[in-house]
A = this chain, B = another copy of it.
Amino acid sequence: MNSPKDPEPKADKAGVRRHNLSLVLRTVHEAGETTRAAVAARVGLTRAAVSSLVEQLLERGLLVESGKTFSGQAGRPGTVLKPAPTGPAGLGVELNVDYVSVCVADLTGADRVRRTLALDNRALAPVEVLRRAAAVTAEVLAEAARQDLRPTGVRLALPGLVSGGTVHQAPNLGWNRVDADALFARALVAARPAGAPALPVASDNEANVAALAELWFGHLGDLGDQGGVRSFLHVTGEIGVGGAIVLDGELLRGAHGFAGEIGHVTVVPDGPRCRCGSSGCLERYAGQTALLRSAGARDVDGLVRRARDREPRALAALDEAGRMLGVALAGAVNLLDPQAVVLGGIYPRLMAWLAPAADAELARRVVSGLWAPAKGRLRAASSTADAARGAAALVLRDVLADPLTYGG
């Protein structure tokens, strides 16, 4: 049998079987609930072939049958098939500047176990940050096991330039060349009971993962002319400002994996110095640290309180941040012409004060003139779509692409 990791699987029997198992599993996953007959009609295989593939997926614990029958559009009623609510799962770890969030999602994408820990990660060495994140992850894995959820891997989401398992640069964490995959994997083995199987670990950029979470779990479906929004810019306000670009439902990763860095787009060439070495970056105006400082607030709760009380300094700070956000977003919209811009992280709570100034800049600066405020293309991210859940779903995407990697 071919190894599941074979980079160029030959179209032999084992390869065809693997491909068809994935096709059937993804079809059920997309439908949520369906029948063998509906799957066969959808994928263009015979009913007998689909039944055999479904049997294998049931045996491996990737699908379940519910007792009820279902009369769909494709012929006779049949037993309902669903993705397994226990068993295969993904584990996502969002490691941000001031917190760690760990999530286990089941095969349907539902958020099943969650722990979030406030932590000033800038005050700690990278090894220590990863050690603490691994300790929370071990707790989450123990809880997942109690719920009969078995993650097949761990995805880390980090606010920095990540490729090949290394965080090359994360200015707001103060990290340079940190081998996050290897360090976290080692710490996780140490944090778990002796004999627990090692899980594969892979790192990704936090903003990229948050954008995919919005695509998969957000509420973009009500926008766009047909089939919802599939091309958008996603901007996350945290201590820094992260960004990601989704085009036709796929992440734009760029030639070196570093696309989407809107936080370090210059908005004022002679503006204040940024941690990245440049000056006048968007982050220096619209990042959390800059915003709280100019508003004179201690935290985002305090900022919201002051804005509600119409305190002039807070309102001026939010207006200025919104204006600079609008300038940078207008540049990105001029370049990319996306269907929408989605604001995540701390921004959804601040939309009432940020959006008017940002919308005004977009209306004035986007040359196509299609971005007038009335069009409402500037959207708050969905509260159900965060980076930890997106990271967990990325692990599950691997299972959906090749079901033979799970169980058996």
A271's closest neighbor in chain B, by CB? B269
Q: Complex formed: what's the CA distance from A253 to B339 in Å? A: 12
User: Smallest CB-CB separation from A369: which chain B residue?
Assistant: B169
User: For residue A168, which residues in chain B have a CB less than 8 angstroms away from its CB?
Assistant: 368
Is B255 touching A364 in the complex (CB atoms < 8 A)?
A: no
Query: Does A69 sit within 8 A of B, measured CB to CB?
Result: no
Q: What is the CB-to-nearest-CB distance from A174 to chain B, in angstroms, rounded to a whole number?
A: 15
Cβ-based interface call for A264 (8 A):
yes
Residues in B with CB closer than 8 Å to A331 are 265-266, 328, 331
- B334 A335 Cβ-Cβ under 8 A: no
Nearest residue, chain B, Cβ from A232: B255
Instruction: Give every chain B residue within 8 A of A253 (Cβ-Cβ).
Output: 337
A74 within 8 A of B: no
Q: Is the CB of A255 within 8 A of B339?
A: yes
Distance, CA A247 to CA B370, complexed state (A): 24
A102 at the interface (CB under 8 A from B): no
Q: Is A330 an interface position by the 8 A CB rule?
A: yes
The answer, yes or no, to whether A300 is at the interface (CB within 8 Å) is no
| A338 & B368 in contact (Cβ 8 Å cutoff) | no
Q: Does A327 contact B (CB under 8 A)?
A: yes
Q: Is A258 an interface residue (CB 8 A)?
A: yes
A266-B330, A327-B269, A331-B331 as given contacts; A252 in contact with B367, CB under 8 Å: no
Q: Name which of A161, A171, A258, A369 has the most chain B CB atoms within 10 A of its CB.
A: A258
Q: Number of A interface residues at 8 Å Cβ cutoff, please give it.
A: 49
Contacts of A261 in B (CB 8 A): 334-335, 337, 367-368
Is chain A's binding surface mostly helix, strand, loop or mixed?
loop
Is the CB–CB distance between B256 and A337 below 8 Å?
yes
**Is A389 an interface residue, CB under 8 A from the partner?**
no
Indicate with 1 or 0, residue by residue over A109-139, a CB within 8 angstroms of chain B CB atoms: 0000000000000000000000000000000
For chain A, residues 249 to 292, give those with C-beta under 8 angstroms from any C-beta of chain B: 252-269, 276-278
B332 touches A335 (CB 8 A): yes
A243 close to B (CB within 8 Å)? yes
A327 to B267, CA, bound (A): 9
What's the nearest-Cβ distance from chain B to residue A360, in Å? 12
Q: Is the CB of A335 within 8 A of B368?
A: no
CA–CA, A369 and B364, complex, Å: 32
Alpha-carbon gap, A337 to B370, bound state (A): 26
Q: Is B252 a contact partner of A336 (Cβ separation < 8 A)?
A: yes
Q: How far is the CA of A326 from the CA of B255 in the complex (A)?
A: 19
Taking the complex as formed, is A245 at the interface, i.e. its CB lies under 8 A from any CB of chain B?
yes
Decide yes or no whether A34 CB sits under 8 A from chain B: no
Q: Decide: B161 and A368 in contact? CB cutoff 8 A.
A: yes
| A263 to B331 alpha-carbon distance, docked (Å) | 10
Q: Which residue of B lies closest to A231 (CB)?
A: B255
CA distance A253 to B338 in the complex (A): 10
Does A365 lie at the interface of the complex (its beta carbon under 8 Å from any beta carbon of B)? yes
Selected from B258, B262, B323, B368, the residue in CB contact (under 8 A) with A258 is B368
The docked-state distance in angstroms from the alpha carbon of A255 to that of B336 is: 8
- Establish whether residues A260 and B338, one from each chain, have CB atoms under 8 Å apart when the complex forms: no
In Å, the complex CA distance between A113 and B189 comes to 70
Cβ contact within 8 Å between A278 and B365: yes
Please give me the residue from chain B that is nearest to A264 by CB atom. B367
| A171–chain B nearest beta-carbon distance, Å | 8
Most buried by B among A324, A331, A369: A331
A278 x B367 contact (CB < 8 A):
yes
Bound together, the chains give a CA A106 to CA B365 distance in angstroms of 41
| Residues 8-33 of A contacting B (Cβ, < 8 Å) | none
Distance between A341 CB and nearest chain B CB, rounded to angstroms: 11
23 A-B pairs within 8 Å (CB atoms) are namely A161-B368, A169-B367, A171-B367, A231-B255, A245-B336, A253-B337, A255-B339, A258-B337, A259-B335, A260-B335, A260-B337, A261-B334, A261-B368, A262-B334, A262-B335, A263-B367, A264-B367, A265-B331, A266-B267, A266-B327, A267-B269, A269-B324, A276-B367
